[in-house]
Chain A
Amino acid sequence: MPPVQATLTRRGALGGAAALALASCDGGDPPPTGAPRAGSGAGLLSSIVALEHAAIAAWAAIGEALRGDARHYARVIRGREIDNGERVAELVRKLGGTPPKTRPAADYARLFPRIGDEADALHFARDLEERLVRAYLEGLRLLPDAEQRRVTAEIAAEQAQDLAVVHALAGGPAAPQPFVTGTR
């Protein structure tokens, strides 16, 4: 796998801004339209579903800027995000809620940084995956139900692996830190 050496300059800043923008994706969605009880976790889970919708769109954009193995993994990871979003949406439905629907691709694209080359794409991917890891780890602490926590833990581990792949594609160690928190 040819490493794509990333430079931590303007691109890093762009990625950071993108992560902030994506973080706002989950905050602007309406609460579930069903009637889950307060404290059931439906609100938080719906926020994660909205974030996954944004991530699916983001990985499509990232993949377009990558080639070879990296492009292959972008497709694989996007597929995993689709599965993850559906698993979390199912948890919302079990609570009697209606998970948020995806928005038109153009709505998400406006929030993404300009992706000029592979290094830009991998910076964006790293920030995105860190945001996802953080969301699921926060879910572990806040969700009240054992099944919700099991699903959240499983997906948190998968997101950490996706982040590891991004590290590897950028030419670094897959597991650079002893504690993966979704923050740097």
Chain B
Amino acid sequence: MRPASRREVLREAAARLALAGGALGSAALAGGAFAGSALAADPSDADQLARLLALEHELAAAYEAALGRDAIEPALGKLLLAHEREHIRGLEQALGKRSPAKAGAPGVGIDFASRRAFARSALELERRTVDTYRDVLTTFHNDRLLQPLGSIMACGAQHEVALRRALGEDLL
């Protein structure tokens, strides 16, 4: 069997991410993501996906640890953790064998001292993650993945609102 070209690898990655979840697949397919896109053979796309994946692992680890320490209201914590796991699944499938090992110790820089303290630090991490998605979307080459990545970014932005609500702050 001949080795896959970089173009084929990227096309396969796009298909995997697009099909990773029902909504994610819908986003890609509804946008015609598989029709005539200009796939750029740029290795930086994989690096960018790995960067996003590391942040999603960090968020998942934070919510998981917070649930274990009762540092977040359980229903909210379970919902946000489930979302992060879906994001991880999509990004890992897009990266395929190039997916890096799972992120290290959870909760680095996260304050678990109280529900309020956790919400504050999780909000900061969500904000940083949304900013990173925005930067990646600006420079990403594979246009088939732009909408699916945008849909994850949009979810992260909604997590910010959910956490501000938990803090009893202005939602916007």
Chain A positions near chain B (C-beta within 8 angstroms): 73, 76-77, 80, 133, 136-138, 140-141, 146, 149-150, 153-154, 156-165, 167-168, 173-175, 177-181, 183
Contact between A179 and B86 (Cβ–Cβ < 8 Å)? Answer: yes
Tell me, yes or no, whether B51 is within 8 Å of chain A by CB: no
Question: Which of B80, B83, B130, B146 sits near A140, CB closer than 8 Å?
Answer: B146
- Interface residues as binary, B22-43 with A (CB distance below 8 Å gives 1, 0 otherwise): 0110110011010000000000
Which of A76, A156, A158 has the most chain B CB atoms inside 10 A of its CB?
Answer: A156
A153 to B136 alpha-carbon distance, docked (Å)? 10
| Contacts A73-B172, A138-B147, A146-B139 given; does A179 touch B158 at CB 8 Å | no
Contact between A175 and B172 (Cβ–Cβ < 8 Å)? Answer: no
Contact between A150 and B138 (Cβ–Cβ < 8 Å)? Answer: yes
Contact between B143 and A178 (Cβ–Cβ < 8 Å)? Answer: no
A184's nearest neighbour on chain B, judged by CB, is B23
| Contacts A157-B154, A160-B154, A164-B158 given; does A178 touch B133 at CB 8 Å | no
Enumerate chain B residues within 8 angstroms of A159, measured Cβ to Cβ.
154
Question: Which of A153, A161, A163, A180 sits near B134, CB closer than 8 Å?
Answer: A153
Q: How far is the CB of B169 from chain A (nearest CB, A)?
A: 12
Q: How far is the CB of A143 from chain B (nearest CB, A)?
A: 9
Q: How far is the CB of A170 from chain B (nearest CB, A)?
A: 13
Tell me, yes or no, whether B82 is within 8 Å of chain A by CB: yes
A165 to B161 alpha-carbon distance, docked (Å)? 7
Question: Which of B30, B83, B151 sits near A175, CB closer than 8 Å?
Answer: B83
Contact between B21 and A174 (Cβ–Cβ < 8 Å)? Answer: no
Enumerate chain B residues within 8 angstroms of A162, measured Cβ to Cβ.
172
Which of B21, B150, B153, B155 has the most chain A CB atoms inside 10 A of its CB?
Answer: B150
Chain B positions near chain A (C-beta within 8 angstroms): 21, 23-24, 26-27, 30-31, 33, 76, 79-80, 82-83, 86-87, 130, 133-134, 137-139, 143, 146-148, 150-162, 165, 171-172
Contact between A138 and B31 (Cβ–Cβ < 8 Å)? Answer: yes
A139 to B87 alpha-carbon distance, docked (Å)? 21
Which of B21, B31, B82, B152 has the most chain A CB atoms inside 10 A of its CB?
Answer: B31
Contact between A80 and B153 (Cβ–Cβ < 8 Å)? Answer: no
| Contacts A156-B153, A173-B79, A179-B86 given; does A141 touch B31 at CB 8 Å | yes
Which of B21, B134, B139, B148 has the most chain A CB atoms inside 10 A of its CB?
Answer: B134
19 examples of A-B residue contacts, CB within 8 angstroms: A137-B151, A137-B154, A146-B139, A153-B134, A153-B138, A156-B154, A158-B157, A161-B171, A165-B161, A175-B79, A177-B23, A178-B21, A178-B87, A179-B27, A179-B86, A179-B152, A179-B155, A181-B26, A181-B30
Question: Which of A77, A153, A174 sits near B153, CB closer than 8 Å?
Answer: A153
Enumerate chain B residues within 8 angstroms of A180, measured Cβ to Cβ.
151, 154-155, 157-158
A136's nearest neighbour on chain B, judged by CB, is B150
